[in-house]
Structure 1
Amino acid sequence: MAVLHADIERLIATTGLESTIIRPGMFASNSLAWWASAIRAGDVVRWPYGAAETAPVDDRDIAAVAARTLHQDGHAGGDYVLTGPESLTQAAQVGVIGDALGRRIAFEEMTPDEFQSLSAGTAPSSVVDMLLAAWSAAVGQPAYITTAVADILGTAPRTLRQWAADHTTTFAEGSEGS
């Protein structure tokens, strides 16, 4: 993914136009695609590298940073890494969603091979491999956290707890999802 993004950034640079690069980390909303159906069904969430830490960033914070950098002077040439405010393991993230729902959600580790098999046909294998490599490297390491959201918006980034509380209906049993 870094190579793909670097190629795109080189193309942008060749246009000669002013630009700002925004590099969000793990989106909080990834949990909707990854875990929501199991959570809605009341099932165990099975996922690889439960001990891998990320700092999920709320999509609304990403959008607000993008809007601010587009219309406010001083961001041309900027290169911003956006993260949420806290480092959480993937298993803890499932727990935060459970707390928002008022129930415990069981988390079970799956092997990388199981994940690759289950992901076949749903995402390019290069993306699956990239995710697995990133999660493997993140085990036992606190996630990298930046102040970029707060620096640009003047307010602290939303926590995963806030994001989960705002999305409980999407995770609630019997809901259709989003």
Structure 2
Amino acid sequence: MIHERDIADVAVRVLTSSGHDGAAYVLTGPESITHAEQVRIIGEAVGREVWWEDLPVEVARRQLTAAWGNAEFVDARLRAWGTFVESPERVNDTVERVLGKPARTFRSWAEEHADAFR
């Protein structure tokens, strides 16, 4: 989970300053939050209650395979996403180390994109 502006800011810094030759950076946001927490924060940003609801795996598999056409890829994504429900993605401090300022929070992203959810 990372704000797209953090990705852009890191890219600009790496491309326009020295000391990054041959470096490979893994970028994340600053916080590890569950899907349910993400949904709650989006609800707060748009000013209404929203909630997390599980979709049966078979329904998701069928819909995603129809949309993406690659059953193996769908199965791999569903396995990965399944782990994030209770164990959110790990975070690191790479954005802060490269930019000298903390990465933007999920809440800031949700507030900036609230209109997309309305």
Give TM-score scaled by structure 2 length: 0.89
Q: Paired residue for 2:38, among 93, 96, 116?
A: 93
Q: Structure 1: any 5+ residue segments left out of the alignment?
A: 1-55, 173-178
Q: Paired residue for 1:137, among 83, 91, 108?
A: 83
Going from structure 1 to structure 2, the CA distance change for 1:116 and 1:142 (only over 3 Å counts) comes to closer
Contact 2:35/2:84 (8 A) holds in 1: no
1:146 counterpart SS class: coil
* Structure 2 partner of 1:148: 94
Q: What is the aligned-residue RMSD (CA, Å)?
A: 1.5
Shift of 1:107: 2.0
Shift of 1:141: 2.9
* Structure 2 partner of 1:164: 110
Q: Structure 2: any 5+ residue segments left out of the alignment?
A: none
Work out the CA distance in 1 between the residues paired with 2:67 and 2:82: 21
* Structure 1 residue runs of 4 or more that deviate by more than 4 Å after TM superposition: none
Shift of 1:70: 1.0
Q: Paired residue for 2:60, among 111, 115, 118?
A: 115
Shift of 1:83: 0.6
Residue identity (%): 39
Q: Paired residue for 2:19, among 55, 60, 74?
A: 74
Give TM-score scaled by structure 1 length: 0.61
2:30 counterpart SS class: coil
Greater helix share, structure number = 2
Shift of 1:139: 4.5
Q: Paired residue for 2:73, among 127, 135, 151?
A: 127
1:120 counterpart SS class: helix
1:98 counterpart SS class: helix
More RCO (CA 8 Å, sep 6+):
2
